[in-house]
Amino acid sequence: MDILKIDNFSFDFKEDKSWKPILHNISLTLPKGKTIGIVGESGSGKSVTALSVMRLIDPAGSRITSGDIIFHDNETDKELSLTSLKEKELQKIRGKKIAMIFQEPMTSLNPAIKCGEQITEAILVHEKIGKRAAKERCIELFKEVMLPRPEKIFNSYPFELSGGQKQRVMIAMAMSCHPDILIADEPTTALDVTVQKGILELIRTLQAKYGMSVLFITHDLGVVAEIADDIVVLFKGQIVETGNVKQIFANPQHPYTQGLLACRPPLDRRLKTLPTVSDFMERYNNGDCRGITDVVSELTVSAEERRTAHEKLYSAAPLLRVEHLSKTYPLRKEHLFEKRQYLHALQDINIDIYEGETLGLVGESGCGKTTLGRTILRLIEPTSGKVFYKDKEITALSQHELRNLRKELQIILQDPYSSLNQRITVGSALIEPMRVHGIGHNDNERKKRAIELLERVNLNESHFYRYPHEFSGGQRQRISIARALAVEPKFIICDESVSALDVSVQAQVLNLLNKLKQEFHFTYIFISHDLSVVKFMSDRMAVMYQGRIIELDNADEIYAHPQTEYTKKLISAIPKSI
């Protein structure tokens, strides 16, 4: 029996004074107890489809142009048209019968209200029980979603929890009234692969326990393969392919689906560049109908080519040396006379990085990756140890000397939206560091260079005059890369610079970073929690755990023959193609 049916559904958004079509004749059915995966890039219409089911889109700026969404109410055994229900009737369904996990738990949870209060509020709205019973159910839900110390988390604010814990709180809220349908909108984006695996397993467990139907939305076909029964592929608001998971993976028909499958870094081979969705669409439009296997084979680098390149790379002296680097933070004391405890964020790190190398740093959140990157640049002061760049000790430089060196040492941060000043144009953001470091004789020269940099990262001159909020996530990341390039650096730290991007956009950015590395002879430290991405980018890979480097070797060798149980755990958590 189908519990949800979307029938020939079309939807428009109002843009200025005209209407822009967003969804075009969408039709799909969600059977009881099954999981349907909706896959596509940002802007394909995935989230709009989910929000339309929940009727959470502002009616003043949108309109339904055709079709209907039908929900089969198990309680009354009646079919309800969700597009026709009044707001009061919808409130009885939202949260209770159809629940939703949103993409970003930090913005979905109220930062000023404790987690437990937010869950009990949702329970009290839909259930006729007292506050004490609601609290008891909340703690039981926290136990069910495997949150540690449920009573403590009940009294914790969202900002006190990790990303994975916040997502589990959101799942607990969605499950608080045992809904018939769970809509999960990108619930694992930007999470560690191990945390992602845990979230997917949790959703499967809860689905089996309560007999729920799940609408799972993601941009990553690798993730959807772990959880879905059937897949619906959306492209520019239209369904271009449907089928069961095995069928889609074994024989994708549409070039867009092929592109989504191919653009994730493969684990069994080394590629020169990653295929992109646009590559497959262009080939298809030009009459080239080769499949994924043929395209990937063309891009494969042989083991001999890689060995020859590495012999040359590692024959020179290191560009940067890290010796016995440690960073310790004092922890807050719970009681006045309690002995002070310390967090050892970095513990005796020793590593050499060679000119032209990409060294990958991989590990879960909290392992010390970002702390190491920032301590190398002295954005964080080390507790002990030394860092040498071109045999000059960075850790001994004065602030004035360090400022002169920053021209050569740059960082691309994880979140380009928060790292770009929202009040100044992109052009100003590019010109400012050039002015600080005396690059260019005047602002006209700097403007010319800034436009050249934007074109280098596949943007154009018109983007010079826009503000950060006018760009997509992938475009903002390109702007951050252009800003790092503006001061002509030699050494760049990429800190989770693709973790929140669509896999298709991620492939474009990774290809861009590699292309720029070849053109400008950069040296990278590439930080990520995703071992498949790090493996593609890196010459060598360092695995970090609890502030220590526990494994360091050729990236392919670590994947093929991991030495530690922790590395094996990271590898096993990577979504695998069927």
Q: Are strands 318-330 and 548-554 parallel, antiparallel or unpaired?
A: unpaired
- Through-space distance between the first and last CA atoms of the chain, rounded to whole angstroms: 27
Percent of the chain whose predicted confidence (pLDDT) is above 90: 68
Across 524-543, average pLDDT: 93
- State the average pLDDT over residues 19-38: 96
The torsion region of residue 374 among left (phi > 0), alpha (psi -120 to 50) and beta comes to alpha
Using a pLDDT cut of 70, give the percent of the chain over it: 99
Query: Which pLDDT belongs to residue 267?
Result: 86
Amino acid at 33: G
- 3-class SS letters over 158-198: HHHCCHHHHHHHHHHHHHCCCCCEEEEECCCCCCCHHHHHH
Choice among 111-120, 309-318, 338-347, 369-378 with the minimum mean pLDDT: 338-347
CB atoms within 10 A of CB 205: 13
The tokens for 124 are 């009290």
DSSP at 521: T
Q: What DSSP letter does each residue of 183-252 carry, written as one string?
A: EEESTTTTS-HHHHHHHHHHHHHHHHHHT-EEEEEES-HHHHTTT-SEEEEEETTEEEEEEEHHHHHHS-
- Each residue's pLDDT tens digit, 458-504: 899 999 999 998 887 778 888 999 999 999 999 999 998 888 788 88
Q: Is the pLDDT of residue 77 over 60?
A: yes
Which tens digits make up the pLDDT trace of 313-343?
999 999 999 999 999 998 877 677 778 888 8
Quickly tell me which residue has 């280098």 as its tokens: 456
On the question of pLDDT at 417 being above 80, the answer is no
Residue 184 pLDDT > 80: yes
CA–CA separation, 487 vs 403, rounded Å?
12
Residue 578: pLDDT band by 50, 70, 90 thresholds? Answer: low
Domains of the chain, earliest start first: 2-97+180-251 (3.40.50.300), 108-176 (no CATH), 259-301 (no CATH), 357-377+398-572 (3.40.50.300)
CB 495 within 8 A of CB 414: yes
pTM of the model: 0.87
Amino acid identity at 536: F
Looking at residue 577, its pLDDT comes to 62
Per-residue b or e along 497-528, where b marks 16 or more CB atoms closer than 10 Å to that residue's CB: bbbbbbbbbbbbbbbbbbebbeeeebbbbbbb
DSSP letter at 316 equals S
Closest to 32 in 3D by CA, of 70, 4, 66, 64: 4
Give the model's pLDDT for residue 70: 97
Average pLDDT, the chain: 91
